[in-house]
């Protein structure tokens, strides 16, 4: 359907008036928080019959707000005369599809939010500021701006390069899967550089050729501009829109409208895009499905990966979860029941790299063997520095991963015990040498570096530990003439800086790239032959049970940036500087064996009764004092203890969160655990509304996090 016509079908000439005397009764979802008593859709009257999914403006208290017609009643009975009328409806837009409403309804129930709260949170914010007339004007402008796409060229297919055998096999399986009823979920488990993206592209092609829409989710779109470019290049005659938080409100609205109107063929976006309304949805891809950024960390704390799977089921669309290092949840789901798994997904394997190059050789550098003075003098052991110098001499690139930005994580006084703490958080303030500041990475509190120790006046205050800024400086000193670049949140603050930095690496204008995890993900670097993890040990002993899983994924991803050009693969290496070279995680890394590592981790999780063998939720409380937060959680636990016991749900004692104080707010949490999901869900649904009645300190906030990623 050409763009120019699509809106017109839905236009209604009349507008509903504010106070109808009779009419249709509508349940309208509006933004009202869970457990406010108004968290179910509210009843209104409309003179005109409106379909569920229609966007409306309704009076709410003293305001007029955006709402979504959720249900429609029969003709309004007499007593409903007291109901307020809607203000108007957005007749120029088609109603949001039923599957969209089902998705929101499920997500609200599962993550314990109000339906309206979630529905409105996932609609573009710009919609709230528009009335129906303004929206119509927007649509007109949009239609003018966007020329109808040229007909897809049939020649596209011809110029494609041949698939590898593994890619063909995976595609055959995916096609069989897509034709099945229901199509189900496939895990595309492909080592780094195995050509997963090509598989997504071919599947997207099939779906677009069939007149359907494709939804492709990526962890962080800004980190991988290359991926967007690849889709644009492959489908020059298709309309591709993106949805992510980097867009202006107007852009986001325009892209969302094109998705809803069926005008966008392919939506490429971050987690929020899982809620993009797509009337012709035919495929969902979740790239790097293990990535933690699929979990929303505030408001409705949903997992876009999990919702993508649900959405596929609701809309009978095949779902592809792609990763070189699948999450343990996904592993479990992809493991046959006979092998102790859940047998829900089908696993497709791309075992080798495109072009037949091998994966980089892993070299564990035992830091215990490095003399003290050398450790103090440089972040990199001499052998590693030497290896980098050799790369430079050969015209190859090296990539150094250090997950800490700034110059040093803390400053300290050599005389007294002063350290650069944050007065507002339980954290150190990081020394940034570039602008000579101490900055808190949690609350943002920033000050000039003091000239002398604030406690004892000693002028000798020194950086302790190393961040990316310091590593960059040391490399520049140790490798005179080398072109060293750094990519982290500090150097990429300005729009376009990251893309420009990556472009320089791709163009071969950089010899050594230093960066945080943003350099490890997804990039198809062609000249990198050495990757080094400078200081990965901290995660080995974290209190968070998921930390090793995340570290393993990060290191394997990082290793995957080396030797992607088969010509250089044989000489490519992944160095790891560690104090614990015997650790099982490194042994698995050494063999690039994500399968064995996943199995051993799953066995540990099973024994410890942790996800995916148990289901968790976290109740969090923020208050002025730790006592107040804990007292509230304890009262909440007391309220729920009987029902919990009856349901087989365990309520653990309240504890301070690992980062206890942020911006002068004390934080505590209470872990909730159950062996099965449904009783946990039922318990939460019964318990949380009761918490509304608890006596709450004046300054306090609480929130529930279902399937928390970090505990
Ligand atoms: N059939 C093919 N023939 C030739 N080159 C290919 C083929 N498929 C993919 N490639 C190329 O191989 C490289 C690796 O592919 P791609 O980036 O898709 O791998 P990936 O599995 O997504 O990797 P990662 O998980 O590391 O991001 C790319 O440069 C891509 O263009
Ligand atoms: Zn702070």
Q: Express each pLDDT in 143-184 by its tens digit.
A: 888 766 555 555 455 578 899 999 999 999 999 999 998 999
> Please, where are the H alpha helices in 272-428?
304-314, 328-334, 372-377, 382-393
> Please, where are the H alpha helices in 440-593?
468-478, 497-506, 547-559, 566-569, 584-590
> pLDDT digits over 328-365, tens only?
999 999 999 998 899 999 999 999 999 888 899 999 99
522 within ligand 1 shell (Cβ under 6 A): yes
190 within ligand 1 shell (Cβ under 6 A): yes
Query: What ipTM was assigned to the predicted interfaces of this complex?
Result: 0.97
Find the helix or strand (DSSP H, E) in which 628 lies. Answer: helix 626-647
Output the pLDDT for position 377: 85
Nearest CA to ligand 1 atom 1: 163
Range scoring the smallest mean pLDDT among 249-253, 323-327, 352-356, 698-702: 698-702
Calculate how far, in angstroms, residue 660's C-alpha sits from the geometric centre of ligand 2: 11
Which of the two residues, 73 and 663, has the higher pLDDT score? 663
State yes or no: pLDDT of 224 exceeds 90.
no
What are the structural domain ranges in the chain? 3-145, 160-355, 357-405+467-605, 408-465, 615-706
- Half-sphere exposure of residue 634: CA atoms within 13 angstroms, side-chain side: 8
Instruction: For the sheet with 484-487, list strands across it.
Output: 361-366, 573-578, 528-533, 397-401, 512-515, 484-487
Output the pLDDT for position 9: 34
CATH 3.30.70.100 fits 615-706, yes or no: yes
State yes or no: pLDDT of 580 exceeds 70.
yes
Q: What is the pTM of this model?
A: 0.92
Q: Are 253 and 138 in contact (CB under 8 A)?
A: yes
Fold of 3-145: GIY-YIG endonuclease (3.40.1440)
**Under 8 Å CB-to-CB from 125, ≥6 apart: which residues?**
249, 252
- pLDDT cut 90: percent of the chain above it: 74
Output the pLDDT for position 299: 84
State yes or no: pLDDT of 300 exceeds 90.
no
Tell me the CATH number for domain 160-355.
3.40.50.300
CATH 3.40.50.450 fits 357-405+467-605, yes or no: no
Summarize the confidence of residues 468-494 as an average pLDDT.
Answer: 94
Output the pLDDT for position 5: 33
State the Cα–Cα distance between residues 191 and 589, nearest whole angstrom.
12
98-110 vs 115-122: helix crossing angle, rounded to 10: 120
516 within ligand 1 shell (Cβ under 6 A): no
Residue 694's pLDDT band (cuts 50, 70, 90): confident
Whether 357-405+467-605 and 160-355 are alike in CATH topology: the answer is yes
Nearest CA to ligand 1 atom 8: 195
Structure tokens at 252: 């986001």
194 within ligand 1 shell (Cβ under 6 A): yes
Q: Which of 541, 535, 536 is nearest to 553 (CA)?
A: 536
State the Cα–Cα distance between residues 550 and 544, nearest whole angstrom.
10
Residue 17's pLDDT band (cuts 50, 70, 90): very low
Residue 33's pLDDT band (cuts 50, 70, 90): low
Q: Are 700 and 619 in contact (CB under 8 A)?
A: no
Calculate how far, in angstroms, residue 419's C-alpha sits from the geometric centre of ligand 2: 14
The burial of 366, by beta-carbon neighbours within 10 Å (0-12 exposed, 13-18 middle, 19 or more buried), is given as middle
State yes or no: pLDDT of 22 exceeds 80.
no
Residue 711's pLDDT band (cuts 50, 70, 90): confident
Calculate how far, in angstroms, residue 450's C-alpha sits from the geometric centre of ligand 1: 50
Structure tokens at 143: 């239609």
Residue 611's pLDDT band (cuts 50, 70, 90): very high
Summarize the confidence of residues 94-103 as an average pLDDT.
Answer: 96
> Please, where are the H alpha helices in 347-393?
372-377, 382-393
State yes or no: pLDDT of 526 exceeds 80.
yes
With tokens 């376009």, the residue in question is: 496
Instruction: For the sheet with 240-243, list strands across it.
Output: 240-243, 266-269, 213-217, 281-286, 319-323, 185-190, 346-350
> pLDDT digits over 248-277, tens only?
999 999 999 999 999 999 999 999 999 999
Find the helix or strand (DSSP H, E) in which 281 lies. Answer: strand 281-286
Sign of CA dihedral 40, 45, 50, 54: negative
């Amino acid at each position: 359907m050409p763009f120019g016509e699509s809106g017109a079908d839905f236009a209604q000439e009349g507008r509903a008036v504010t106070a109808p005397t009779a009419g249709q009764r509508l349940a309208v979802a509006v933004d009202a928080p869970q457990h406010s008593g108004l968290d179910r859709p509210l009843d209104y009257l409309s003179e005109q019959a409106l379909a569920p999914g229609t966007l409306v403006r309704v009076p709410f208290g003293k305001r007029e707000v955006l709402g979504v017609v959720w249900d429609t009643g029969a003709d309004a009975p007499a007593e409903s005369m007291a109901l307020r009328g809607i203000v108007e409806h957005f007749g120029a837009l088609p109603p949001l599809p039923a599957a969209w409403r089902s998705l929101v309804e499920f997500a609200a129930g599962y993550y314990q939010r109000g339906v309206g709260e979630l529905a409105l949170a996932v609609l573009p914010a710009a919609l709230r500021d528009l009335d129906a007339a303004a929206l119509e004007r927007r649509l007109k402008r949009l239609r003018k701006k966007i020329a109808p796409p040229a007909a897809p060229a049939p020649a596209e297919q011809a110029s494609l390069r041949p698939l590898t055998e593994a890619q063909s096999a995976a595609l055959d399986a995916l096609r069989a899967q897509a034709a099945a009823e229901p199509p189900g979920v496939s895990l595309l488990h492909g080592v780094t550089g195995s050509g997963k993206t090509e598989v997504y592209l071919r599947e997207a092609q099939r779906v677009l050729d069939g007149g359907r829409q494709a939804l492709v989710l990526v962890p962080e779109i800004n980190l991988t501009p290359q991926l967007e470019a690849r889709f644009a290049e492959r489908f020059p005659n298709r309309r591709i829109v993106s949805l992510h938080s980097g867009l202006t409100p107007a852009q986001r609205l325009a892209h969302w409208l094109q998705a809803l109107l069926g005008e966008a063929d392919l939506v490429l976006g971050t987690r929020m895009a899982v809620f993009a309304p797509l009337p012709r949805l035919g495929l969902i891809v979740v790239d790097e499905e293990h990535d933690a950024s699929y979990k929303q960390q505030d408001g409705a704390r949903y997992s876009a990966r999990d919702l993508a799977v649900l959405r596929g089921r609701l809309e009978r669309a095949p779902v592809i979860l792609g990763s070189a290092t699948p999450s343990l949840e996904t592993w479990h789901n992809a493991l046959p029941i006979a092998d102790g798994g859940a047998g829900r997904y089908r696993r497709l394997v791309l075992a080798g790299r495109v072009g037949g190059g091998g994966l980089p050789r892993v070299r564990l550098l035992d830091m215990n063997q490095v003399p003290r003075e050398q450790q103090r003098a440089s972040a990199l052991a001499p052998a590693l520095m030497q290896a980098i110098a050799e790369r430079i001499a050969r015209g190859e690139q090296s990539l150094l991963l250090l997950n800490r930005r700034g110059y040093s994580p803390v400053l300290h006084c050599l005389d007294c015990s002063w350290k650069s703490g944050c007065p507002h958080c339980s954290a150190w303030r990081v020394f940034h040498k570039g602008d000579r500041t101490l900055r808190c990475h949690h609350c943002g509190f920033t000050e000039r570096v003091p000239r002398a120790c604030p406690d004892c006046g000693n002028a000798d205050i020194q950086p302790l530990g190393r961040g990316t800024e310091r590593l960059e400086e040391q490399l520049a000193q140790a490798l005179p003439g080398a072109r060293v670049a750094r990519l982290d949140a500090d150097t990429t603050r300005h729009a376009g800086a990251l893309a420009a930095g990556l472009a320089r690496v791709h163009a071969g204008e950089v010899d050594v790239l230093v960066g945080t995890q943003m350099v490890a993900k997804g990039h198809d670097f062609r000249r990198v032959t050495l990757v080094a993890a400078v200081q990965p040990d901290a995660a080995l002993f974290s209190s968070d049970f998921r930390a090793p899983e995340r570290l393993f994924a990060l290191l394997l991803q990082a290793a995957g940036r080396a030797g992607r050009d088969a010509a250089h693969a044989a000489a490519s290496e992944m160095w790891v500087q560690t104090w614990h070279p015997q650790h099982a995680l490194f042994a698995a890394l050494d063999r690039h064996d994500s399968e064995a590592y996943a199995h051993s981790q799953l066995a540990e999780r099973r024994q410890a009764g942790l996800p995916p063998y148990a289901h968790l939720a976290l109740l969090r409380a923020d208050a002025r004092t730790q006592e107040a937060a804990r007292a509230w959680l304890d009262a909440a636990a007391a309220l729920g203890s009987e029902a919990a016991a009856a349901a087989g749900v365990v309520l653990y004692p309240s504890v301070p969160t690992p980062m206890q104080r942020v911006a002068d707010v004390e934080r505590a949490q209470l872990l909730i655990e159950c062996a099965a999901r449904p009783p946990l869900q039922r318990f939460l649904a019964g318990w949380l509304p009761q918490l509304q009645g608890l006596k709450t300190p004046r300054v306090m906030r609480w929130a529930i996090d279902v399937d928390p990623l970090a505990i």
